[in-house]
A and B are shown apart, each in its own frame.
Chain A
Amino acid sequence: MTLTCATQADGENLVDGLAAEGPAAAPRSNGELVFKAPWEGRAFGLALTLVDRGLFTLADLQAELIIAIAEWEALGQSNEEYEYYECWLVALERLVDRSTAVGLSDIDQRSEQYVARPHGHDHDHAHDHDHGH
């Protein structure tokens, strides 16, 4: 089936005319924040960066995520709010442990150091840190 030129032109306008903003705007973010907290975005981005670098595949990540989600569900903590990115992080840590020189114990140790930081420590992700070991 062939469309007439007029219809095609109208169609062009319809598709290209989807406004970026305003009441007629195409939905951008499902009406909610893409990431509820900055760390969710970092955890997401870290995983994709390592996939890009070929350290593991998206399929590996998906398989670990399925396991982490199944573990969470098996705990039956119906009183605890489900946090998808907590599961994402569990999966990512295991893949990092398996695929890079960074191990789970390294992550534990560094996390403990950060927990022990003096209150009000102004931390910037972009900075290198010397925690004085």
Chain B
Amino acid sequence: MTAQPHSGGRASAPIRTEALEALLTEKGLVNAGALDGLINRFVNDVGPMNGARVVARAWVDADFRERLLDDGTAAVGEFGFSGPQGEHIVVVPNDDKQHNVVVCTLCSCYPWPLLGLPPDWYKDPAYRSRIVREPRLVLSEMGLDLEDDINITVWDSSAENR
């Protein structure tokens, strides 16, 4: 019998992960060295600095800004930022009257090539439910106070994908 997921009846996650890796390695599906390389890439080489470069480019290059807003995936690809979870990038601009917030209400999907893996708060159930209901308050709690005349649009990336 299989232990129920999400329950105390299972071995701990570190143990199960170790077992899973060993079994997949034995089947020839996983190679420890390649796995190390893949993990290191996500820890060291991708992160918000990639997205920061794209935004900085858009600040100083109006043609690029236009391309970025027109086809985010292609424009971001000019930097070589592509790969898993970077297949459908949509870029929305903030200005004096408009602020955009992104959430994935279902699974915390995130543009890895552009921003790295999502931070904890982004995956938190409280953020995922509250940002939709009370975005102004949540942003304020996070340190961003927006004037009342600034419109806030919340984008649900899981809904956008379906």
Establish whether residues A46 and B30, one from each chain, have CB atoms under 8 Å apart when the complex forms. yes
Establish whether residues A37 and B14, one from each chain, have CB atoms under 8 Å apart when the complex forms. yes
How many residues of B are in contact with the other chain, CB < 8 A?
Answer: 57
Tell whether A50 pairs with B29 under 8 Å between CB atoms, given A72-B6, A105-B2.
Answer: yes
How many residues of A are in contact with the other chain, CB < 8 A?
Answer: 78
Establish whether residues A28 and B19, one from each chain, have CB atoms under 8 Å apart when the complex forms. no
Q: Which residues of A contact B47 (CB under 8 A)?
A: 27-30, 34
A41 to B123, CA, bound (A): 16
Establish whether residues A102 and B124, one from each chain, have CB atoms under 8 Å apart when the complex forms. no
Q: For chain B residues 1-60, which have a beta carbon within 8 Å of chain A?
A: 2-3, 5-6, 10-11, 13-27, 29-30, 32-35, 38-39, 42-43, 47-49, 52-53, 56-57, 59-60
Sample 14 A-B pairs with CB under 8 A, ordered by A number. A15-B56, A29-B116, A35-B39, A36-B120, A48-B84, A49-B30, A71-B5, A72-B6, A84-B120, A89-B17, A100-B24, A106-B23, A108-B11, A110-B19
Establish whether residues B13 and A15, one from each chain, have CB atoms under 8 Å apart when the complex forms. no
B interface vs A, CB < 8 Å? 2-3, 5-6, 10-11, 13-27, 29-30, 32-35, 38-39, 42-43, 47-49, 52-53, 56-57, 59-63, 84-85, 106-109, 116-117, 119-120, 123-125, 158
Q: Which residues of A contact B125 (CB under 8 A)?
A: 73, 82
Establish whether residues A129 and B22, one from each chain, have CB atoms under 8 Å apart when the complex forms. yes
Establish whether residues B21 and A18, one from each chain, have CB atoms under 8 Å apart when the complex forms. no
Q: Which residues of B contact A123 (CB under 8 A)?
A: 18
Q: Which residues of A contact B85 (CB under 8 A)?
A: 58
Q: Which residues of B contact A89 (CB under 8 A)?
A: 13, 16-17, 20
A interface vs B, CB < 8 Å? 1-3, 7-8, 10-11, 14-15, 18, 20, 25-32, 34-39, 41-46, 48-51, 53, 55, 58, 62, 65-66, 68-73, 75, 82-87, 89-90, 92-93, 96, 100-102, 104-108, 110-115, 123, 125-126, 128-129
Establish whether residues B6 and A90, one from each chain, have CB atoms under 8 Å apart when the complex forms. yes
